[in-house]
Structure 1
Amino acid sequence: MGGVRRWLTVVVVGLVVAGCGSEPAAERTPLLDPVVTADIPAGDPSTAPAVSAPTTSTPPPVTIVLNPGHNGGNASHPAEINRRVAAGGGQVKACDTTGTETNDGYPEHAFNWDVTLRVRAALTAKGVTVVLTREDDAGVGPCVDERAAIGNEAGAAAVVSIHADGSDVASANGFHVAYPVPARNDAQGEPSARLAEVLRDGLAKAGFAPANYIGQNGLDGRDDLAGLNLSERPAVFVECGNMRDATEAAVLSSDDGKQRYAAAIATALLTYVGR
């Protein structure tokens, strides 16, 4: 009965619609073929309109190079790290240095490594490919020119060197972000300056104060850092704070402080690359 009732309904509708036009009855064309319609059972899925599967857009791949300054084995290998290498702009510098430490003996290289791993975790969670310039905190180097080359070869959207400062200036505290001045290529121009500003703003938003002893408003143009001079990618150095200041050293040494620095840096980098 259901099939018959459905066919009858179709015929009635066809007659009603046909009766509304001005075309002569003898020349009208049936709207539907009643034989074909009667053979289609009610609810047949073949009659349902096709529904396109939802599409999801995948963000383009992006690579960020993180350069944790210094290394845990540098101090015990003076001959290796004192070797002279090209530093860009006609300068020659030591392969690497040991870095600074707090008055209580917490070394900068350990801080740099810890914060870098936290930043990497936050970035990879958002689908960013992260390349590190060293594998652990127990080796030597690599030299500053090699670190710059790693960023260049990776085609990085951003290269960020993570450090802490060691100023003996009385009451010196606060972070600053170093960027290349003068610019030696297009990546060292506006892209690096913008990267520096985004990181400066991110650290300030996280509650960290800009340095009161170097640079201006948390930014410091530099021409003597090999990692900046030799970079062909947008590159900056983040000096998170002064390890020689007792109050700031307490924050730099704490797990909570390191996590806050890492979160601020990661959030700023995601903003810079549009993630």
Structure 2
Amino acid sequence: MVAVRRRAVLPVVATFILLAGCQPDGQVAPAATTPVTPVAPVTTSSPTGTPSPPPPPSTSSSSAKPPSSGIVVVLDPGHNGANAKNPAEINRLVPAGRGQTKACNTTGTSTNAGYPEHAFTFDVAKRVGAELEANGIKVVYTRDNDSGVGPCVDKRAEIGNAANATAVVSIHGDGSNSAGAHGFHVETSSPPLNAEQGAPTTKLATVLRDGIRAKGFTTANYIGQNGLFPRPDLGGLNLSTRPAALIECGNMRDAADAATMSSADGRQRYADAIAAAIETYVGA
């Protein structure tokens, strides 16, 4: 396969699932991370009350290069804007792999100033998708708005599986109240439940970690090891039959991380880093 390069002459298409946010399966986070608690939906404004610019236009823009390779990238922005208003639906138990059932979804976390994770993940995912489509990569999203409910974690995995994704990537923001906890990390299903969760997923997670770090973001100092956190309890990852990884872009309860995640410029930086890493993985 010819390596993909940003703004390359030859269009390439890639397959992914972005599984975004904090504790997407309704799980209580590991020791260093606090449980996700329901919060009322919040508009996508900055902590100061100034509305943030809308996400970039959909990758269906006429300026995007037409897909040519048949590769598909599935982006999975964590949570959804109406989850908090629909507890019966998001608390419904669904398959989560390894013989477990988990809540369909969760509300996600927020910054201390009230900027919600679901808004952050959707904005970043759309920005990533716009960059990928501009380079001829077909993009599929697990949700197409930030005002709905779900989909459940098993459905999110199903979308990536049905697309025969080259990779599954979920986008999230963490919510640890541990003093000084900051930085990003990448999560994977471990031990692997199929061949695609083995070496291909490990490579995907490593490329994402290295690519995001290369853009100036710091790996987490409170969870995982060296920016990677294999774990057995996330349904969206466990049920994937494609290479799958979940990016916790930062700790939304940390002042510095929150400032970056709440700003349009900061979200663009995340998008640039994630899109470049995806293109590296697809072209490797």
Q: TM-score category by the smaller chain?
A: 0.7 to 0.9
Partner of 2:208: 199
Shift of 1:57: 7.2
Partner of 1:264: 273
Q: Verify the 8 A CA contact 2:11 2:135 in the aligned structure 1.
A: no
Where does the alignment leave 5 or more consecutive residues of structure 2 unmatched?
1-8, 13-68
Q: 1:169 aligns with which of 174, 178, 184?
A: 178
Partner of 1:153: 162
Where does the alignment leave 5 or more consecutive residues of structure 1 unmatched?
1-55
Give TM-score scaled by structure 2 length.
0.76
1:132 aligns with 2:141: yes
- Once the two structures are superposed, residues 82-127 of structure 1 have per-residue CA deviations (whole angstroms, 9 ceiling, x without a partner) of 0001100111100000000000000000000000000000000111
Give the SS at the match of 2:283. coil
Letter in 2 for 1:192: T
| RMSD over equivalenced CA pairs, Å | 1.2
Q: Give the number of the structure whose alpha-carbon radius of gyration is greater.
A: 1
Letter in 2 for 1:198: V
C-alpha separation in 1, matches of 2:138 and 2:257: 31
Partner of 1:62: 71
Q: 1:76 aligns with which of 85, 88, 108?
A: 85
Partner of 1:89: 98
Letter in 2 for 1:185: N
Higher helix content, 1 or 2:
1
- Once the two structures are superposed, residues 165-195 of structure 1 have per-residue CA deviations (whole angstroms, 9 ceiling, x without a partner) of 0001111000000011111101100000100
Partner of 2:38: none
Q: 1:116 aligns with which of 120, 125, 128?
A: 125
1:251 aligns with 2:260: yes
Structure with the greater relative contact order (CA < 8 A, sep ≥ 6): 1 or 2? 2
C-alpha separation in 2, matches of 1:65 and 1:234: 11
Give the SS at the match of 1:92. strand
4+ runs of 1 displaced by more than 3 Å? Answer: 56-59
Shift of 1:248: 1.1
Structure 1 residues 90 and 252, CA, compared in 2 at 3 Å: closer, same or farther?
A: same
Letter in 2 for 1:154: A
Q: Verify the 8 A CA contact 2:183 2:220 in the aligned structure 1.
A: yes
Partner of 1:17: none
Partner of 1:214: 223
Partner of 2:110: 101
Shift of 1:61: 2.2
C-alpha separation in 1, matches of 2:106 and 2:257: 22
Q: 1:232 aligns with which of 241, 247, 266?
A: 241
C-alpha separation in 2, matches of 1:78 and 1:58: 43
Partner of 1:12: none
Give the SS at the match of 2:161. helix
Give TM-score scaled by structure 1 length.
0.78
Partner of 1:48: none
Q: Verify the 8 A CA contact 2:80 2:150 in the aligned structure 1.
A: yes
Letter in 1 for 2:145: D
Give the SS at the match of 1:147. helix
Letter in 1 for 2:121: N
Q: Verify the 8 A CA contact 2:182 2:220 in the aligned structure 1.
A: yes
